[in-house]
Amino acid sequence: MHSTMILLGVLFGLLCQAYTLPVKNSTGLHEAKVRLRRTYSGGISNEFTDHDHDDMNAMDQILEVNRRLRFLRGMSFRDGDIASSYFRSAITCPGNACLWPKAVDGFVYVPFMLSPIYEDMDRITIETGMQDITAGTCIRFVPRTQEASFLDIQPRYGCWSFLGQTGGSQTLSLQTPGCMWSGVAAHEFMHALGFVHEQSRSDRDHYVSIVWKNIMADQAHNFRKQATNNLNSPYDYNSVMHYGRYAFSEDGGPTIIPRPDPYVPIGQRDGPSNLDLHKINVLYNCGVN
Ligand SMILES: [Zn+2]
Q: Encode the chain (289 residues) as per-residue pLDDT tens digits.
A: 455 555 555 554 444 444 433 333 333 444 444 344 333 333 333 333 344 555 789 999 999 999 877 666 667 888 999 987 544 444 556 555 689 999 999 999 999 999 999 999 999 999 999 999 999 999 999 999 999 999 999 999 999 999 999 889 999 999 999 999 999 999 999 999 999 999 999 999 999 999 999 999 999 999 999 888 898 999 999 999 999 999 999 999 999 999 999 999 998 899 999 999 999 999 999 987 6
Reduced to 3 states (helix: H, G, I; strand: E, B; else coil), residue 244 is coil
Q: What is the pLDDT of residue 77?
A: 85
Segments forming the whole domain that contains residue 235: 39-289
Residue 204 lies in a domain: yes
Q: Rounded to an integer, what distance in angstroms lies between the CA atom of residue 113 and that of residue 24?
A: 25
Model confidence, pTM: 0.80
Total number of domains in the chain:
1
Q: Are the C-beta atoms of 258 and 208 separated by less than 8 Å?
A: yes
Task: Please indicate, yes or no, if residue 95 is contained in any of the structural domains.
Answer: yes
CA of 197 to the centre of ligand 1 (A): 6
Question: Does the annotation place 51 within a ligand binding site?
Answer: no
Q: Which residues are catalytic?
A: 188
Backbone φ, ψ for residue 212 (5° rounding): -60, -35
Q: Is residue 146 domain-resident?
A: yes
Ligand 1 centroid to Cα of residue 242, in Å, is 8
Q: Is the peptide bond before 234 cis (omega within 30 degrees of 0)?
A: no
Task: In whole angstroms, give the CA distance from residue 126 to residue 133.
Answer: 11
Given a contact cutoff of 8 angstroms between Cβ atoms, the answer to whether 44 and 56 are in contact is no
11 lies in some domain: no
Angle at 38 between CA 54 and CA 57, to 5 degrees: 50
Q: CATH no. for residue 266?
A: 3.40.390.10
Provide the sign of the torsion angle of the four alpha carbons 51, 57, 61, 67, taken in this order.
Answer: negative
**CA dist., res. 51 & res. 254, Å (int):** 11
Q: Is 197 labelled as part of a ligand binding site?
A: yes
What is the distance in A from the centroid of ligand 1 to the CA of 31?
Answer: 26
Residue 148 confidence (pLDDT): 95
**Contact between 211 and 256 (Cβ < 8 Å):** yes
Q: Please indicate, yes or no, if residue 246 is contained in any of the structural domains.
A: yes
Distance from the alpha carbon of residue 146 to the mean position of ligand 1, in angstroms: 28
Report helix, strand or coil for 159. strand
d(CA 80, CA 51) in angstroms, rounded, equals 20
Ramachandran category for residue 226: left, alpha or beta (phi over 0 → left; psi -120 to 50 → alpha): beta
User: What's the CA-to-centroid distance between 259 and ligand 1, angstroms?
Assistant: 22
